Structure 1
Amino acid sequence: MRPVLTEIEIAEPGLVVLCGASGSGKSTFARRHFAATEVVSSDQCRAMVGDDETDQTVTAEAFDLLHTIVRKRLEIGRLTVVDATNTKAPDRKSLVELARRADLMVTAIVFDLPLALCVERNNARRDRQTPRHAIKRQHETLRRNARRLRKEGFGRVYTIGSGDELDSVRIGRTKLWCDRRDDAGPFDIIGDVHGCHTELIELLDRLGYDVTARPIAHPDNRRAVFVGDLVDRGPGVAEVLEVAMSMVENGSALCIAGNHENKLGRALAGRQVQMTHGLAESLAQLEQRSAAFRDQVASFIDGLISHYVLDGGRLVVAHAGLPERYHGRASARVRDIALFGDTDGESDEYGLPVRYPWAADYRGDAAVVYGHTPVIAAEWVNNTICVDTGAVFGGELTALRWPERDLVSVRAAEVHYEPIRPLKAEPPVGDRAHASLDISDVEGKLVVDTSLAGRLTIEAEQSSAALEVMSRFAVDPRWLPYLPPTMAPVATSTRDGYLEHPDEAFAYFRRAGVREVVCQEKHMGSRAVVVMARDADAAEARFGIANQAAGVIVTRTGRAFFAEPAATASLLAQLRAAAESTGLWDRLGTDWLLLDAELLPWSAKGVELIRDLYAATGAAGTAALSTASKLIADAAERDVMLDELSARTDERASHLGSFIDAYRQYCWDTDGIDGVEIAPFQILAADSEVLGRRPHAWHLEEIDALIAQAPDLLRRTDRHYVKTDDDASIADATDWWHSMTERGGEGMVAKPADPVTVNDKGLVQPGVKCRGREYLRLIYGAEYLAPENLQRLRQRSLKRKSSLARREFALGIEALERFVANEHLSRVHQCAFAVLALESEPVDPRL
């Protein structure tokens, strides 16, 4: 007698296929146990296609729609329930194939209710009824082939055989075994041990574990994660297994399967396997232990899964690595790739399988940590890292500390096993990333997820505008991990004679909860991003580019600042030498740096703008007003009194003179790079850190040290620190601003002391610019201070500009985070590209 079904366990995500004749209660069951969005009904698809759930003439089109919806849901990992009769094997086969392609488990729930009950339920329906002969045919067809469901590919099959079961059965949802997203660690992910017990104990000790405890554990509740291949080749296989099994049982470790565990498990089960690659040594060592211990090992190996998804999906651990589309999936294919890697069946000169270099094109959000193929040193490649550093071959046993991303290694005591293939280093990151850049990464509508501003949308028109600029004028995109954001001005001032004033800057940050700001002199130059490596080898290793300058200096749009490469090389050489003299390279532990700066004079880059716009305006205005003054004077000689017009003309001439003085002081003669100055104000990033998150005080101190080493090239940025709740501090900074701008200075930028500041309303402006009265003549015109003009300008709207500044800043930080994390270049470049794309938004350019 069949046991009564009380609970159905389904894997989530996965596919659930309801199988039963019309009237068997499938739709009612689906509504009771699943969300409406999780159920894909053939009847609903008929209605969507043909406006009538009972219209059998659109069945083919309805099932095309059904399969499309199911495929899309499974692709993105959603539980999906198919409500259709599904009594025929061919109908089920297409659904099983969809689940197989998505590498998800498929469950069948069979509604094998008595025929009479199905007919009775069908007759009670008011919306539609199925003919009795059709129900009888469906019922008989399902009963004939229900026993073959597992052979069809269903991982689980549940049969509901009565109305009582239908009403009382419960649905239990279980996450896939690999899904540990709610487990945030912290973790210590340990590479292939291969029986190196001495090295394992030394590494655990160095990681802070109490190796004298039984089982071994960490006093701060950190946990080890073994990436597989604990066994074979080394002298301490049994001892390593003892450590790992006890730690896993105690909860102080996790472990996934490696290909060597897979093979040892089959051997312990008595299956025919080749005694190669150290398996014989493992079996010999285990023979020295009891049968009970060997059974324990066999059970432990049998319970190991293919991979883990951890820390909210930010971390994936798989023995041979795992492309993004397989993360959090469960199938034989996923297990094979996780254990053995993706191979094409070919062998190299050593007789070992040639594996597809999946990490070279990895673009996922999750960091993937793996082993399997030993390397000389663990290095990040596109947000993936191999931590098998060949301990058993005389290399090192390595662990990655997560979330810190720190590497900890111990040297092997000796060469325990001669490698078949010599250990080799990973190919340069830049070469790998550049090889797979594609225009599809940035064309059309883009959606970019950022940690500071959430999901940002770039419309297709904006992408097109950015593509036009970047494809025609920008440097090699491998040099562009970052483009600088725009900056919002302060709120409009109501003070007499002022459009912008420091009062509004301090008031904004005080309202935002920022207690300390730094006010920095705003240089009148051109924004520049400096990307430089310590030497040519470092440039090639990190950026995949070999050039004489070992770096670039680019504008806000990614264009090279100087047409002559020699000019760039000379400036970078001086900067590089200054960093060497101050010990900055070694202090930051980096071979490359990104700097945000201003390049002066303004005329070095903007000479055409100055000549064609500002100088032309000044010359035309001077000529016109001079002629007007002469005509007024001639009229006065004829006793035609034009006093009011004369005064107005004199006033306009005075305004124009101030306009000419305003732009002239930002121009001076340069010969090549002689006379060029760089005013750096932030060190954006180095090898292992987004330095842009450090307090501004740190940046300015480090930059002052650089300036001391290259005073002819580097210009100091004057600054004042202000407490937003201290009137004396505010008054002091305001006086400084008045003094600076009255001498002709452009103004200041007020920034939170901590560059990345978030309050309950979101991201606080990373900086607001407050420009001086005279400089604003260049922006709003020579006569903008005339009362009628100033009153009109006070109606300017800043909302869109402020939003743009925050979004572009968030994209910049996101780009730096991805770059430092060694994510695929396309993901980094997407953020920098988005900054340029947003610049095409319709915002008043004077802001």
Structure 2
Amino acid sequence: MRQPLTSIKIPELGLVVLCGASGSGKSTFARRHFGETEVVSSDQCRALVSDDETDQSVTPAAFELLHTIVDKRLELGRLTVVDATNVKPEDRKSLVELARRNDVLATAVVFDLPLALCLEHNGERRDRQTPEHAIRRQHATLRRTAKRLRKEGFTRVYTVGSASELDSVEIVRTKLWNDRRDDAGPFDIIGDVHGCHAELVELLGELGYDTSAEPIAHPEGRKAVFLGDLVDRGPAVTEVLDVAMSMVAAGTALCILGNHENKLRRALAGRNVQVSHGLAESLAQLEARDPEFSEQVAGFIDSLVSHYVLDGGRLVVAHAGLPERYHGRSSRRVRTLALYGDTDGETDEFGLPVRYEWASDYRGDAAVVYGHTPVPAPGWINNTICLDTGAVFGGELTALRWPERELVSVAAAREHYAPIRPAASDAPRHSTRHLSLDDVLGKHHVDTGLAGRVTIDAERSSAALEVMSRFATDPRWLVYLPPTMAPAAASKREDFLEHPDEAFSLFRKAGVNDLICQEKHMGSRAVLIVARNADAAQSRFGIANDDAGVIVTRTGRPFFGEPGAARVLLDRLRTAAEAAGTWDQLGTDWLVVDAEMLPWSAKSAGLVQDLYAAAGAAGANVLGAASHLLSGARGRGIELDALAERTRKRAEHVEHYVDAYRRYCWEVEGAEGVELAPFQLLAAEGEVLARRPHSWHLEQIDAWISASSDGLRRTDRRSVDLDSDVSVAQATDWWLSMTEAGGEGMVVKPASSIVRTGGNLVLPGVKCRGRSYLRLIYGPEYLEPANLERLRGRSLGRKASLARREFALGIEALDRFVANEHLSRIHECVFGVLALESEPVDPRL
């Protein structure tokens, strides 16, 4: 006797097909249990294409639209419910194909209500009615074909057989077995064990697990994740299974299915499988145990899924890896890819499948951790990492701590099984995929962790593309571009356009009281990407470069026209970092460093000569001649005292103007005479250092200068507590003294580097420039009262917005690079900074 239907379990991601004759209550059911946008109705599609949902003549076009909407929704990972009669197998076939194409499960809900009830409901409709003969035909067709639904490809089939069930049944939305996004770990992900029990226990001990406990557990609640291939080849398969099965049962571990478990399960079920690649060892060791253990192993393997999505979607584990479009999906194709990887049908000289290098094209946000194919050493490729380091072949057994991204390995006791082919060559630490114009052309958006979604207009994209394609350095080096910086608001003080008062006030209003004021060097902004040696440059950036690094401008161009100067300066920085122990302290073989290159004329000699020197010379000559003529005229008794005084003051302004730019210019030859003033270590292996407090950066750089001062300039600074009037006054006096002596000014920053208040990013810094330096920006006579009053009306809103967005993009680029994401993901941010630079903002700001 059929049990009454009380609930229908629907996967959160999947296709639901409602099947029933007209009048069976499908549409009412859909409105009651699903969101309006989740339901795709054939009647609605008829209305969309013809303005009349009863127009049967447009049915082909309506269903073409319906299939397109269903396809797009499933592609985007949205639950989709199809409200149509769907009584014929040929109507359902196309929907099942859409589910398969998008790797989701298909659920059928059959409305098998009595014919009389369907006719009654149809008769009660006021908007439209279906002919009675059509309902009778639909009802009979459904009853004849409903028994085939599982064979057609529906994973679940539910039948609503009465009016009471229709009114009382509830929808229960369930997670897929692979959806463990709510589980944030922390995890210790372990590569292919292959029966290496002693190595497994040693590794768990190194990871901090209590290996004397039964089952093994971590005292701090960490959870092990086995990447599959626990079995075959090794000497202690059953002991490994004992450990894994007991930990999984106790909730101290997760395990996914490997291809070797899959084959073992088929062998235990009596299937005809080839006993090769170590399966014989597993079968022999299982044979030595009691039959109940083999049954437990078979049940354990049956419970394993192809992959897990963990930690809010930030982590995916799959035995052979998994491209992004299949994360969280469920189909035979997903299972096959997760177990074996993608193959093209070819085999290598050892008779083993040639697998597609999916990781080289991976561009997803989630880190994918996998095993399956042994590598000599694990290495991140585009935010993916292989942990199979061939323990059973005499290599190592490796684990990855998550979210720390730390690797822990133990050496194999010996070679337990001779490999068929040598381990794959060292995995590259960089993307091998070319960049695509489609990633940056037109209007697009970049999602950042600090400022949300940043919009890049099409016009700005075109401008950036011109610079990037024609002038920029090798894109593999280009992992960061520095942001613009907004100045302090206009000062209310007489004879000042900018003053620390306004900079301090800005941060006080934002609730940031601990600040650091850094000397602003008058030079040219430079970003240095420096590797410890050529091998490190090749490994991390994929570039065979004798310089083992590059120096770029704010727009990503090589800083020097000839390579020799860059090589000398990179060597200086490399040597200083070595002498100060920075490489070992940070555990890195590369650094990204933000700096100023001095003198200003080293990069801008042409600008100085053609603009500033020309203006100074012209002003001095004209005003000198004018003063001479006025002096002669006054000697003849003409009253020109006021004009003469004004001309004298203008000449004095020009003299100060010339003095201002000359302070920042001196002769250089290549790297000779060039000084480097680094002020921030942006990133190193495993960490975006830009998140550390500014004082840490300056202390590190002080250590470099103490260890090797050749060509490096210190950045002076003052810490400020806005709650202390003394602290504020001391910083202000320091700024006044420095700028009156010819210094450019200072940059005022939150001491803790990155600050968000009320969900918004606080400006990472504002520049406060001295009176003398500002002559170069606003002209020799900007301090004249009328000019100064006019300049106080300058608008800073757009500049401040630009500074926030560019800063967020820069940090996002570093985050993605440190996480070993695909190069295109990094360049999405770098390109965005360059594009925003073409926004119409007063360049004097």
Give the TM-score normalised by structure 2: 0.98
In the aligned structure 2, how far is the partner of 1:450 from the partner of 1:306?
A: 31
In the aligned structure 1, how far is the partner of 2:541 from the partner of 2:340?
A: 30
Over residues 666-686 of structure 1, what are the superposed CA-to-partner deviations in whole Å (9 max), with x where a residue is unaligned? 111112221111110011111
Shift of 1:113: 1.6
Contact 2:529 2:592 in 1 (8 A): yes
The residue identity in structure 2 corresponding to 1:191 is G
- Mean CA deviation greater in 357-366 or 161-170: 161-170
The RMSD of aligned alpha carbons is: 1.4
In the aligned structure 2, how far is the partner of 1:833 from the partner of 1:109?
A: 49
* Residue of structure 1 in register with 2:725 after alignment: 727
Within 5 Å, give how 1:270-419 maps onto structure 2.
Answer: 270-419=270-419
Shift of 1:501: 0.8
Structure 1 residue matching 2:152: 3-state secondary structure: coil
In the aligned structure 1, how far is the partner of 2:165 from the partner of 2:27?
A: 15
Within 5 Å, give how 1:58-457 maps onto structure 2.
Answer: 58-430=58-430, 433-457=431-455
Distance 1:267 1:662, change over 3 A: same
- Mean CA deviation greater in 389-398 or 85-94: 85-94
The residue identity in structure 1 corresponding to 2:34 is F
Shift of 1:97: 1.1
Contact 1:525 1:600 in 2 (8 A): yes
Over residues 303-358 of structure 1, what are the superposed CA-to-partner deviations in whole Å (9 max), with x where a residue is unaligned? 10000000000000000100101000000100011011111111111111111111
Which of 666, 686, 689 is the aligned partner of 1:688?
Answer: 686
* Residue of structure 1 in register with 2:35 after alignment: 35
Structure 2 residue matching 1:477: 3-state secondary structure: coil
Structure 1 residue matching 2:476: 3-state secondary structure: helix
In the aligned structure 2, how far is the partner of 1:437 from the partner of 1:351?
A: 34
Contact 2:508 2:722 in 1 (8 A): yes
* Residue of structure 2 in register with 1:787 after alignment: 785
Q: Does 1:636 align with 2:640?
A: no
Shift of 1:41: 1.3
- Mean CA deviation greater in 239-248 or 514-523: 514-523
* Residue of structure 1 in register with 2:49 after alignment: 49
Over residues 208-227 of structure 1, what are the superposed CA-to-partner deviations in whole Å (9 max), with x where a residue is unaligned? 11111111111111010000
Within 5 Å, give how 1:430-579 maps onto structure 2.
Answer: 430=430, 433-579=431-577
* Residue of structure 2 in register with 1:745 after alignment: 743
In the aligned structure 1, how far is the partner of 2:484 from the partner of 2:432?
A: 28
Within 5 Å, give how 1:753-768 maps onto structure 2.
Answer: 753-768=751-766
The residue identity in structure 1 corresponding to 2:728 is I
Structure 2 residue matching 1:835: 3-state secondary structure: helix
In the aligned structure 2, how far is the partner of 1:445 from the partner of 1:144?
A: 53
Shift of 1:145: 1.6
In the aligned structure 1, how far is the partner of 2:547 from the partner of 2:655?
A: 42
Shift of 1:59: 2.4
The residue identity in structure 2 corresponding to 1:122 is N
Shift of 1:638: 4.5
* Residue of structure 2 in register with 1:665 after alignment: 663
Give the TM-score normalised by structure 1: 0.98
Contact 2:228 2:261 in 1 (8 A): yes
Contact 1:481 1:832 in 2 (8 A): yes
Structure 1 residue matching 2:369: 3-state secondary structure: strand
Distance 1:490 1:195, change over 3 A: same
Contact 1:553 1:560 in 2 (8 A): yes
Over residues 755-777 of structure 1, what are the superposed CA-to-partner deviations in whole Å (9 max), with x where a residue is unaligned? 12222242221111100111111
Structure 2: which 5+ residue stretches go unaligned? none
Over residues 383-433 of structure 1, what are the superposed CA-to-partner deviations in whole Å (9 max), with x where a residue is unaligned? 111111111111111111100111111111111111111223334233xx1
In the aligned structure 1, how far is the partner of 2:399 from the partner of 2:569?
A: 40
The residue identity in structure 2 corresponding to 1:213 is A
Q: Does 1:770 align with 2:768?
A: yes
Structure 2 residue matching 1:425: 3-state secondary structure: coil
**Identical residues among aligned pairs (%):** 72
- Mean CA deviation greater in 333-342 or 835-844: 835-844
- Mean CA deviation greater in 358-367 or 614-623: 614-623
Contact 2:6 2:169 in 1 (8 A): yes
The residue identity in structure 1 corresponding to 2:719 is Y
Contact 1:361 1:436 in 2 (8 A): no
Over residues 155-198 of structure 1, what are the superposed CA-to-partner deviations in whole Å (9 max), with x where a residue is unaligned? 11111122111111111111110000011000100111111111
In the aligned structure 2, how far is the partner of 1:411 from the partner of 1:12?
A: 43
Over residues 560-598 of structure 1, what are the superposed CA-to-partner deviations in whole Å (9 max), with x where a residue is unaligned? 111111221122122222222222222222211111000
* Residue of structure 1 in register with 2:827 after alignment: 829
* Residue of structure 2 in register with 1:9 after alignment: 9
In the aligned structure 2, how far is the partner of 1:614 from the partner of 1:522?
A: 20
The residue identity in structure 2 corresponding to 1:343 is T
Contact 1:180 1:311 in 2 (8 A): yes
In the aligned structure 2, how far is the partner of 1:506 from the partner of 1:391?
A: 59
Shift of 1:21: 1.7
In the aligned structure 2, how far is the partner of 1:634 from the partner of 1:28?
A: 101
Structure 1 residue matching 2:267: 3-state secondary structure: helix
In the aligned structure 2, how far is the partner of 1:609 from the partner of 1:47?
A: 65
Over residues 788-829 of structure 1, what are the superposed CA-to-partner deviations in whole Å (9 max), with x where a residue is unaligned? 221221121111111111111111111111111111111112
Shift of 1:705: 2.0
Contact 1:108 1:157 in 2 (8 A): yes
Structure 1 residue matching 2:789: 3-state secondary structure: helix
In the aligned structure 2, how far is the partner of 1:791 from the partner of 1:57?
A: 74
Contact 2:378 2:427 in 1 (8 A): no
The residue identity in structure 2 corresponding to 1:562 is F
Shift of 1:780: 1.5
Over residues 444-480 of structure 1, what are the superposed CA-to-partner deviations in whole Å (9 max), with x where a residue is unaligned? 2222121111121212211111100110100110010
Contact 1:434 1:478 in 2 (8 A): no
Contact 2:500 2:732 in 1 (8 A): yes
Q: How many residues matched?
A: 845
Shift of 1:39: 0.8
Shift of 1:273: 0.9
In the aligned structure 2, how far is the partner of 1:81 from the partner of 1:631?
A: 91
In the aligned structure 2, how far is the partner of 1:755 from the partner of 1:631?
A: 57
Contact 2:194 2:237 in 1 (8 A): yes
Which of 622, 647, 650 is the aligned partner of 2:648?
Answer: 650
Distance 1:65 1:634, change over 3 A: farther
Shift of 1:72: 1.2
The residue identity in structure 2 corresponding to 1:188 is D
Shift of 1:634: 4.2
Contact 2:199 2:411 in 1 (8 A): yes
The residue identity in structure 2 corresponding to 1:30 is A
Shift of 1:637: 4.0
- Mean CA deviation greater in 68-77 or 512-521: 512-521
Which of 613, 633, 657 is the aligned partner of 2:611?
Answer: 613
Contact 2:564 2:670 in 1 (8 A): no
Shift of 1:647: 2.3
In the aligned structure 2, how far is the partner of 1:116 from the partner of 1:620?
A: 101
Shift of 1:507: 2.0
* Residue of structure 2 in register with 1:587 after alignment: 585
Distance 1:58 1:642, change over 3 A: farther
Shift of 1:19: 1.3
Over residues 669-721 of structure 1, what are the superposed CA-to-partner deviations in whole Å (9 max), with x where a residue is unaligned? 11222111111001111122111111212211111122234434111111111
The residue identity in structure 2 corresponding to 1:760 is G
Contact 2:514 2:719 in 1 (8 A): yes
